[in-house]
Structure 1
Amino acid sequence: MIEKPFVKWFDRKFDANIDIVQFDGILSRMEHFPAVLNQLLETCPKKIATIKTNGKWSVNENVGHLILLEDLWRRRFQDIKDGKPDMSPADLNNTATDQAFFNKSVLGELIKRLGDERAKTISLLQGMSKEDLLKKSIHPRLNQPMNIVDLMYFVAGHDEHHLSTIQSIIDNTMAL
């Protein structure tokens, strides 16, 4: 197996021309992500879940970050639906994640919270019409127009980025 080199999230490029016929498949990826994450983490010891290495987020902090972003995703989906020219900006410094003390939380509770927040996002997306899916707004960091499905693809990619990061944390910690 050839491993892909790790690419920092902010260095990634995204296709913003995803056909709306991909809606159901990407929605399914997003909907099932908390269960996939739970399966990976169901046996993760607390000691590993809260270890920070080289100033990087722990497993708990990665999951907490995903929880916090669900509100931003919903705002951005709503921005597009409402025809706003620009999507709501993100805190690119991730201040809320750094200040949330997620390492004091139980990992299983964080995963449940993520599932609850993601369910709200899925519900919002299921209520979108075909006309809504065709509308576009400018993504603030990427400075490119995106429709609902493009942003869903972006969110699913962000999920997978953190899944890979979490897997690396576990693998590297277990190897010690």
Structure 2
Amino acid sequence: MENMPAAYEYADYYASYVKLVPEGNMADILERQMKETVRKLSSLDENRSEYRYAPGKWSIKEVIGHITDTERIMSYRLLCIARGETISLPGYDENKYVEEAHFDSQTLKELLDHFACVRQSTIHLLKSLSDDALLRKGTANNTEVSARALLTIIAGHELHHRNIIQERYLQA
């Protein structure tokens, strides 16, 4: 996939994610991001990975878990829409998912391995899809979205949170 989605292919609240993603081959972008994120975060020790920059904020481990959960959900939406699903796909409560996952009880390595596994699955899915499948639209969380927009949202969501980790967690 080389072409970025048009603004009408996704809800306005995803625009901040989409604009973070550079032009180029999406499989290459996703692969490069995965390697950069794992490289950057794997050097943290366990104590640092449980750091919260303010009360009530997620730890670095929880952010990694959230990125992974969101990618898994968006990839499922991608699969459904690319295959022509016509029913509306549900939304999810990101805070509830993080709360129920107990990411801080897992090691940083386990969380990064999980993220890399989910990302590899997304890349394999992308490579299996035709251009027509990527242009298909469906409904997720009560909004219309194209399959290719979901890929860009996945990439932008990771970049968004990686930027937050850099600015609010690692600079502290």
CA pair 123-87 structure 1, distance change in 2 beyond 3 A:
farther
Tell me if the contact between 1:80 and 1:87 (Cα under 8 Å) persists in the aligned partners. no
CA 70–93 in structure 1, closer or farther in 2 if over 3 Å, else same: closer
Structure 2 counterpart of 1:72, which letter? Answer: I
Change (3 A) 1:45 1:114: same
Give yes or no for the alignment of 1:33 onto 2:33. Answer: yes
Q: Which residue in 1 is equivalent to 2:164?
A: 165
Tell whether the 8 Å contact from 2:14 to 2:153 is kept in structure 1 after alignment: no
> How far is the alpha carbon of 1:116 from its aligned partner?
0.8
1:86 Cα deviation from its structure 2 partner: 5.1
Q: CA deviation at 1:128?
A: 0.3
Partner-residue secondary structure (3-state), 1:94: helix
Kept in 1: contact 2:71–2:154 (CA 8 A): no
Amino acid at match of 1:43: S
Shift of residue 13, structure 1, vs aligned partner: 4.4
The corresponding residue for 2:49 is 49
Higher RCO by CA contacts (8 Å cutoff, separation 6 or greater): 2
- Opposite residue 30 of structure 2, the aligned amino acid is M
Aligned counterparts, 1:85-100, within 5 A? 85=86, 88-100=89-101
Per the TM alignment, residue 95 of structure 1 is displaced from its structure 2 partner at its CA by 1.3
Contact 1:75–1:88 (CA under 8 A) maintained in structure 2: no
CA RMSD of aligned residues (A): 2.6
2:66–2:94 Cα contact (<8 Å) kept: no
Change (3 A) 1:77 1:39: same
Give ranges in structure 1 of 5+ residues lacking alignment: 1-9
Contact 1:86 1:140 in 2 (8 A): no
TM-score (norm 1): 0.77
The gaps in structure 2 that reach 5 residues or longer are 1-10
| Equivalent in the alignment of 1:113 | 114
Q: CA deviation at 1:11?
A: 8.3
Q: Could you say which residue in structure 1 is the equivalent of 2:4? A: none
Runs of 4+ residues deviating >6 angstroms: none
Aligned mates of 1:45, 1:169 — CA distance in 2: 13
CA apart distance, 1:120:
1.1
Q: CA deviation at 1:115?
A: 0.4
> How many residues are aligned here?
156
CA contact (8 A) 2:135 2:146 kept: yes
How far apart are 1:139 and its partner, in Å? Answer: 3.6
> Which letter does structure 2 place at the counterpart of 1:63?
I
Tell me the alpha carbon deviations over residues 32-64 of structure 1, each in whole angstroms, 9 at most, x when there is no partner.
222111121132122121023221101000111
